Amino acid sequence: MITSGIAADRAKQRQSLAWIREQSLDPNCIESLANHDSDIQPHVIEF
């Protein structure tokens, strides 16, 4: 896993990213949004 260059606690950063990945693999997860990608357009997530 590649982490960002800035972190107050690298271990907690990795733990947090691992949790996000785990949740994103859940079939009930509609979308995982954890980025600063300027190409992502605002949109509505419907349940």
Radius of gyration of the chain (CA): 13
Contact (Cβ atoms closer than 8 angstroms) between residue 32 and residue 20: yes
What is the per-residue pLDDT for 26?
96
Nearest of 33, 7, 2, 5 to residue 20 by alpha carbon: 33
33 vs 44, higher pLDDT:
44
Q: What is the pLDDT of residue 25?
A: 96
* pLDDT of amino acid 43: 85
**Locus of tokens 């509505």:** 44
Q: Are 39 and 24 in contact (CB under 8 A)?
A: no
User: pLDDT by residue (tens digit) across 2-41?
Assistant: 777 788 888 998 998 899 999 999 999 988 886 777 888 8
